Amino acid sequence: MIVATVALERPHAETYLSAGTTARSWLLTTDHKRIGILYMVSITLMFLVGGVAATFMRITLLSPGGGVVAMETYNKLFTIHGVIMVWFFLIPSIPSVLGNFVLPMMLGARDVAFPRLNLASWYIFLAGSLFLLWTVVTGGVDTGWTFYTPYSTQYATSRVVSTTLGVFIVGFSSILTGLNFIVTTHRMRAPGLTWFRLPLFVWSLYATSLILVLATPVLGITLILVTIERWLGIGIFDPALGGDPLLFQHLFWFYSHPAVYIMILPGMGVISELIPTFSRKRLFGYTFVAGASIAIAVLGFLVWGHHMFTAGMSTHAALVFSMLSYLVAIPSAIKVFNWTATLYRGAVSFETPMLYAIGFIGLFTTGGMTGLFLASLAVDVHVTDTYFVIAHFHYIMVGGMVTAYMGGLHYWWPKISGRMYPENLGRLAAMTIFLGFNLTFFPQYILGYLGMPRRYAGYPPEFQVLNVLSTAGASILAVGYALPLAYLLWSLRYGERAGANPWGGTTLEWTTSSPPPEHNFEHTPIVTHGPYDYVRGPQGD
């Protein structure tokens, strides 16, 4: 049974977009919705920089002898690609863009708990980005995004310090966002909105925020240690002074493994919104999916050693980390089962967001399964530091996370902008991305298994065909990403005006106009039931 949606849109009413049109009103805003848009612009720019680096990499890999760029330059390309994509695109994307915009509304709140801290987090992001851009234009950095010592601290001659400082700074942006979300979720829910009536996107953002505040500080202090060792020449990880380079890796991965869950959990949260909405069916196993989000956040902290199996760690520790790595796959699998079960006998429709959601389920599952191969000690010895690992994490991060971001962007675009995007172009782009993505990265599983190492500018000639396929796929993928950039911008002026609830969603953000008024709701909603109830309809009045 479908509840008729009433268009609350009154074209001449004051919205958050029309409340103030000066640059100052944007740059000094404390409105979470505007801050979400500020982040959207920034991370898109950084995505382009990281994408340019990838483009040059894939062009170089067209021929076995490399040659398009010098080997030293290639090292800088993959480093910058990794650093920017991880810290300046993936980690902020869904939380700082979609989360900032949607979370307070899903809670029935007027804003986050600390709006000025929210604005500060964006300026901090900008400051960190400036350090990175300075790195790029003054010669780049070539340590790999993982900054392993002693190369990063003693031997590299590239811009290590400006990079580590840039990442250190942007870490505070993460921490403030996580802190804000935690306090907002605990203290600012609308009347009647109990924890188990929360949308699953909120649960995912909450779990993500736990990781943000617990893990990021460790990265912060680790990068400071690298900076000090490099600047002052003090051997913190230097064996000559009794130090251990592996200690750097423990500290680095203690953050960086949970970081991958920072990246994927919000994506899973988006999928948990898209699947019920476009199946017109309540999400199967709500409690399990909510619990799985928390389980992923917690278990994700116990597995970091699986990045160090071949680095010289003790066998005992390797066994423990391997076993725990198998464990962490379980809550992810639970989510996949529950999404699939939701689809079963649902009234499924295939609008653009749903295409991305279904793509996510397939690509994330594939990527996740290859994670299990890597968790096995015996297999990992063979495939670690090869393209197998690269394919694994790109399936999850690009096939999963970026796909989810695109899905969420399209889903909430009407709410954010008050406009619909062109649906046919949306579907075309989604399918182009799916095709381009698989062509780019599936060959890389094979390449890695056959032994092609990562971070090499050249390779044995017998690997050329697969590399060429991968580069071809990348060019298709680029077109796929360019399309939304173009038509979403186009829609701001020429898109069909959207009603309050174009998708028939049941969460609170759909009960207010598109775009929303500055304070989100005319009156604070009173919540009487859980989300995804297509019989009773939206959660609030």
Partner 1 sequence: MANIRVADRHAPAPQFDDLVQQREAAALGMWVFLVTEVMLFGGLFTVYTVYRWLHHPAFVEGSHHMALIAGAVNTAVLIASSFTMAQAVQRAQRGLRRGLLGFLASTALLGVVFLGLKAYEYWSHYAEGLVPGSPWTYAGPHSGPLQSFFFLYFAMTGLHAVHLTVGVGLVTGLIVLARRRRFTAAYHTPVEVIGLYWHLIDVIWVFLFPLFYLIG
Partner 2 sequence: MADRVSPTRTNLMVFIGLLALTLATTLIARVDLGVWHLPVALAIAAAKTLLIALYFMHLRWSPGLLGLVALGAVLWLAILLGGSMDDYATRIWLLPSGR
Residues lying near partner 1 in the complex (CB under 8 A) are found at 109-115, 175, 179-180, 182-183, 186-188, 213-218, 220-222, 225, 228, 232-236, 240-244, 247, 250-251, 519, 524
Q: Are 305 and 253 in contact (CB under 8 A)?
A: yes
Three-state DSSP at 130 gives helix
Give residue 147's region: left, alpha or beta (phi > 0; psi -120 to 50).
left
Picked from partner 2, partner 1, none, the partner binding residue 193 (CB below 5 to 8 A depending on kind) is none
Of 186, 191, 465, 536, the residue at the interface with partner 2 (CB under 8 A) is 186
Of 320, 372, 379, 468, the residue at the interface with partner 2 (CB under 8 A) is 320
For 386, list phi and psi in degrees, rounded to 5: -115, 180
Of 62, 117, 188, 313, the residue at the interface with partner 2 (CB under 8 A) is 313
3-state helix/strand/coil string of 316-380? HHHHHHHHHHHHHHHHHHHHHHHHHHHHCCCCCCCCHHHHHHHHHHHHHHHHHHHHHHHHCHHHH
Picked from partner 2, partner 1, none, the partner binding residue 280 (CB below 5 to 8 A depending on kind) is none
3-state helix/strand/coil string of 415-474? HHHCECCCHHHHHHHHHHHHHHHHHHHHHHHHHHHHCCECCCCCCCHHHHHHHHHHHHHH
Picked from partner 1, partner 2, none, the partner binding residue 302 (CB below 5 to 8 A depending on kind) is partner 2
Listed ranges 19-27, 96-104, 150-158, 307-315: which one lies at the site for partner 2 (CB under 8 A): 307-315
Identity of the residue, 214 or 348, whose beta carbon is nearer to partner 2 in the bound complex: 214
Using CA atoms, how far apart are residues 402 and 45, in angstroms rounded to an integer? 15
Task: Give the residues across from 453 on adjacent strands.
Answer: 386
Identity of the residue, 98 or 218, whose beta carbon is nearer to partner 1 in the bound complex: 218
Picked from partner 2, partner 1, none, the partner binding residue 115 (CB below 5 to 8 A depending on kind) is partner 1
Listed ranges 24-32, 157-165, 300-308, 487-495: which one lies at the site for partner 2 (CB under 8 A): 300-308
Q: Does 330 bind partner 2 (CB under 8 A)?
A: no
Could you give the C-alpha distances from 201 to 84, 104, 164, 189, 220, in angstroms and in order? 25, 12, 32, 14, 27
Among residues 112, 109, 100, 1, which one has the least CA distance to residue 43? 100
Of 87, 301, 387, 413, the residue at the interface with partner 2 (CB under 8 A) is 301
Q: Does 305 bind partner 2 (CB under 8 A)?
A: yes
Listed ranges 161-169, 312-320, 425-433, 489-497: which one lies at the site for partner 2 (CB under 8 A): 312-320
Could you give the C-alpha distances from 46 to 39, 83, 91, 159, 212, in angstroms and in order? 11, 10, 12, 18, 20
Q: Does 314 bind partner 2 (CB under 8 A)?
A: yes
Q: Are 278 and 357 in contact (CB under 8 A)?
A: yes
Of 70, 130, 317, 369, the residue at the interface with partner 2 (CB under 8 A) is 317
Neighbour-count burial of 462, counting CB atoms closer than 10 A to its CB (0-12 exposed, 13-18 middle, 19+ buried): exposed
Identity of the residue, 97 or 297, whose beta carbon is nearer to partner 2 in the bound complex: 297
Using CA atoms, how far apart are residues 246 and 237, in angstroms rounded to an integer? 8
# chain residues binding partner 2, by CB under 8 A: 20
Name the token pair of 14: 């004051």
Listed ranges 228-236, 311-319, 328-336, 512-520: which one lies at the site for partner 2 (CB under 8 A): 311-319
DSSP 291-310: HHHHHHHHHGGG-GGGG-TT
Picked from partner 2, partner 1, none, the partner binding residue 221 (CB below 5 to 8 A depending on kind) is partner 1
Q: Does 188 bind partner 2 (CB under 8 A)?
A: no
Picked from partner 2, partner 1, none, the partner binding residue 225 (CB below 5 to 8 A depending on kind) is partner 1
Using CA atoms, how far apart are residues 428 and 412, in angstroms rounded to an integer? 19
Of 133, 294, 302, 348, the residue at the interface with partner 2 (CB under 8 A) is 302
Q: Does 197 bind partner 2 (CB under 8 A)?
A: no
Picked from partner 2, partner 1, none, the partner binding residue 148 (CB below 5 to 8 A depending on kind) is none
Residues 6+ apart with CB under 8 A from 315: none
Q: Does 431 bind partner 2 (CB under 8 A)?
A: no
Count of C-beta atoms within a 10 Å radius of residue 155: 9
Least separation in angstroms between residue 233's CB and partner 1 is 7
3-state helix/strand/coil string of 107-119? CCCCCCCCHHHHH
Listed ranges 28-36, 163-171, 247-255, 261-269: which one lies at the site for partner 2 (CB under 8 A): 247-255
Interface contacts to partner 2, rule CB under 8 A: 186, 214, 218, 246-247, 250-251, 254, 301-302, 304-305, 313-317, 319-321
